[in-house]
Structure formats: structure tokens, C-alpha cells
Amino acid sequence: MSAPRIKAVIFDMDGLLLDTEGIYTQVTQLISDRYGGRAFDWHFKQNTIGLGAYDLASYIVRALELPISPEAFLELRTPLMNERFPFAAAMAGAEALVRHLSAQGIPIAVGTSSSRHYFELKISQHREWFALFDTVVTADDPQVGAAKPAPDIFLVAARRLGVNPAECLVFEDSPFGISAAKAAGMYAVAIPDPAMSEDKFRHADHRLLSLEAFDLKAWGLPDYPRDAATHGRP
């Protein structure tokens, strides 16, 4: 694989930096059970990863046959997620890669479909290394016109970093996120749930099992120190 020298890196958050997807699944099932809806299994789950809040709620209400509106679904899940998000764990290799890129002076950003409120809850246990990001763009940012798969979130991030979109690399775990990155004219590396079909990521420039497997040098980025204990874990 050949790629130009990358000057900035943009990270999705849910399922990529932080392990929050299980929380979304648990909360959705609780609400579905309350209203006698269908099981929120992988058949449905795979179609929601990376969606903005309203699009996600609309899909779930329709797919699980819930007798409520998307707005009601979002209202019901708010207190349930408020309780759970502060306990989200970091994904493998996430903190190490963020710290390394920051130490090397590489501009880094978060581009997430989460609201600012949920972003703050999710990083409760990770504020030290999230403070290393040069900018954070959430779905409710006033400069964002549309959620993923629209490119807005990533374009705003690139503009704030002062880097041409064509010189940005995006890490994403969802097909919608990859579509958003490609629409922004950026390179995109997919790190999806292992259960995701490879066919959903044909538009990605590369696919990895985790951030620990990312080859920095292949993208023109400074590698981890040679004395690192293990690759991806300085």
C-alpha cells in the first residue's frame, strides 16, 4: 500500500477510542423489552453503528417495531446512558497511539457523532489523554451541518487543525464513518467489530483488527520508539 505523507490524524470515538457500543446495545434492549419490541441483535445492530442520534433512533423504532416516536426513544435512553457512559473503557491501543502522535507533534482530532454532553460523560475516566487532542468536533457543533455519512464533521476537524483534507487520515469503525471520511477527500482506515462483513468496508483504504496493528511508517508517520515493550504499547 502506498500513501502520501499524512499530516494529521482524525479519530472517531465510539467503538474506536472508547468501548461504548456495548452500552448502546444494552440500553436499546432495555427500552425494547419495556415496550415488547424485538431483540436488538447483530442483524439490527450492524446497521446503527456510526449513525447520528436521530437517524439511529428512527431506524431502531422502525426495525424493533416499537410503539413510540424516535423523539420518545431518545428521551427514554438519556438517563440510562447518563448512568453508564462514565464507565466506558478505552479500546486496545487507543491511548498509546494518541499519546505517541501528540508527543511527535502530529495534529490530532476527534470527529464523533456523539453530542458534546455524551462526549464529556464518555471521557470521564480518560480526560488526561483526551486533553491531548488539538480539537474535538461533535455532531451538535454549530459548524456541523449534517451528521455522518455526510463529511461535515471531518471537514470541520481538518479546518481547525489547519490541514488539507487530502493529507488527513481518519480511523473509523463504521461504514457510515468511512463514507464520511471518503466524502471529505481523506484517507480512511477501518477498525470495525470483527463480526462486521468485509463487504461493508470495501471503500476503506485499509482494514485492521485494532489500533495496535496500525503501521505508522506505512503512512509516513513517526514510528513508536524501538525500546517499546510491545508494538503499539510504548
∠ CA 170-175-180 to the nearest 5 degrees? 50
Supply the DSSP string of 4-68, one letter for each residue: PPP-EEEE--BTTTEE-HHHHHHHHHHHHHHTT-----HHHHTTTTT--HHHHHHHHHHHTT-SS
Q: Identify the three-state secondary structure at position 110.
A: strand
Helix 175-183 × helix 152-161 angle, to 10°: 50
Which cell numbers hold the place of 71?
423523539
Q: Is 12 a catalytic residue?
A: yes
Q: Among the options 14, 141, 152, 205, which is catalytic?
A: 14
Quick check: 225 and 103 in contact, CB under 8 A?
no
Task: Count the alpha carbons within 13 Å of 209 in the hemisphere toward its beta carbon.
Answer: 3
Environment class of residue 72 by beta-carbon count within 10 Å: exposed (0-12), middle (13-18) or buried (19+)? middle
Which cell numbers hold the place of 68?
413510540
Supply the DSSP string of 153-202, one letter for each residue: HHHHHHHHHT--GGGEEEEESSHHHHHHHHHTT-EEEE---TTS-GGGGT
Q: Is 134 a catalytic residue?
A: no
Q: Which residues are catalytic?
A: 12, 14
